[in-house]
Amino acid sequence: MDLDRWTDERLLREDSAELCGPAFERFYVRHERLIAAYFVRRVRNLELASELTAETFARALSSRKRFRDEGPTSAVRWLYGIAFRVLSMSARDAEQRLRAVHELKLWLRAPDEERLEAFREAGEIEQVMASLERLAPREREAVRAFVLEERSYEDLAQQTGAAIPTLRKRVSRGIASLRRELKENNS
């Protein structure tokens, strides 16, 4: 069977045990460069574009049974829709991380010694870290991993087995708790 002659739509619809893997691989080979270029133009970072491309195809593979063949180019439109959602989620995650860092006065990267000493003198680092330790264990670990270690929700989901929406809630609740406590302590 010559998969190169199959349409994208047929490749996605294939569900026989022996052909579904090779069919999706063929679909991937046809479109990987286009999706990667889509991300490179938008994020201007090759490493991030590569991660987003991989995430797009992983989501496409896991959701291909929901693909609806609506004629020529429907497979490509479907794939770009997934890519758009992956990009939107990535931007939202980055925005949430930056907001948390700014609001909680945390550092993405280790500050130089002089700035670190100034923070220590002001008591801010100890205050934030003490507040972080008082969070519920799952919220504390989610905030620490997402904000301080800059790990993605997808990475955390794979490590913990928790669903991405659950992890988002843990981070959101943890940050809200930290905000409240820091506000109360500084009042």
pLDDT tens-place string over residues 100-141: 766 665 544 444 455 445 545 555 666 777 888 888 999 989
Domain 105-186 belongs in CATH node 3.40.930.10: no
pLDDT of residue 37: 94
User: With pLDDT > 70 as the criterion, what percentage of the chain qualifies?
Assistant: 85
- Cα three-residue angle 111-113-114, rounded to 5 degrees: 100
Instruction: Kindly state the average pLDDT of the residues 149-166.
Output: 85
- 144 backbone dihedrals φ, ψ, rounded to 5°: -60, -45
Instruction: Kindly state the average pLDDT of the residues 85-104.
Output: 80
Please choose, from the candidates 23, 21, 20, the residue with its C-alpha nearest in 3D space to the C-alpha of residue 7.
Answer: 23
- In whole angstroms, give the CA distance from residue 45 to residue 43: 5
Whether 79 shows a pLDDT value over 70: the answer reads yes
pLDDT of residue 107: 47
pLDDT of residue 94: 79
- Cα three-residue angle 102-106-112, rounded to 5 degrees: 115
Band of residue 181 on the pLDDT scale cut at 50, 70, 90 = confident
Domain 3-90 belongs in CATH node 2.60.40.10: no
pLDDT of residue 129: 77
CATH 1.10.10.10: which residues of the chain?
105-186
pLDDT of residue 105: 59
Which range has the top average pLDDT, 32-36, 97-101, 160-164? 32-36
- In whole angstroms, give the CA distance from residue 62 to residue 27: 14
- In whole angstroms, give the CA distance from residue 86 to residue 22: 24
pLDDT of residue 101: 67
End-to-end Cα spacing for the chain: 72
Instruction: Kindly state the average pLDDT of the residues 141-165.
Output: 84
CATH 1.10.1740.10: which residues of the chain?
3-90
* Start-end of H helices in 105-163: 113-122, 124-133, 137-143, 153-160
pLDDT of residue 115: 47
